[in-house]
Amino acid sequence: MQSTRKISKYFSYILRHHPEAIGITLDDEGWAQIDELIEKTKKFKLTMEMIQTVVDTNDKKRFTLSSDKRRIKANQGHSIEVDLALEPIDPPDFLLHGTAQKSIESIMDKGILKGQRHHVHLSETKETAFAVGQRYGKPVLLKIDSNKMAGDGFKFYKSLNGVWLVEGVPPRYIEIITN
């Protein structure tokens, strides 16, 4: 049995960062044709059933199938140019960001930067933010005054899997709540 976790990581790599690695092209909104993905994937023996299982069981809901189940896309986290076709929406008063202790000095100096990605990722729950921070070292939770940011003109988006997205977070909107 092929590991759904390994296939999910593979999909993240292909659909978020390197579709050219297997010779597929994403459309402007990041959609890949499933037939082409199956045909050009040599690392796994993909079937539509396996793709559906990966989409349905991914704990972070990273992928979406089109209604006709002929296309798949990553919901966010791209380092390649795609238009996620998200409309700006008002965020909750506060959002959270998980990071590692080693990054705190830089964040408090420069803010939270998107780096190679399109957006900074924020969360509504401590659990999610903590899990993200834990991936990079000793976790620290940051509270983001998203209401103030929105009032100051920053645009917020919510991806299909519930991740809040913003271009960046300047230090003045950040409060350390754990370290």
Tens of pLDDT along 61-104? 889 999 999 999 998 888 888 887 789 999 999 999 999 999 99
Q: Is 86 among the domain residues?
A: no
Q: What is the DSSP string of 34-60?
A: HHHHHHH--SS---HHHHHHHHHH-TT
Q: Is 87 among the domain residues?
A: no
pLDDT value of residue 2: 67
Residues 167 and 112 in one domain: yes
How many CB atoms sit inside 10 A of residue 49's CB? 8
* Contact in structure between 136 and 103 (CB atoms under 8 Å): yes
pLDDT value of residue 179: 52
Q: How many domains, the chain?
A: 2
Residues 99 and 171 in one domain: yes
Residues sharing a CB contact under 8 Å with residue 175, sequence separation 6 or more, in sequence order: 142, 143, 145
Distances, alpha carbon 112 to alpha carbons 5, 13, 47, in Å: 28, 23, 39
Q: Find the domain containing 111 and state its range.
A: 95-176
Residues 105 and 172 in one domain: yes
Q: Is 80 among the domain residues?
A: no
Given a cut of 70, the residues of the chain with pLDDT beneath it are 1-2, 179
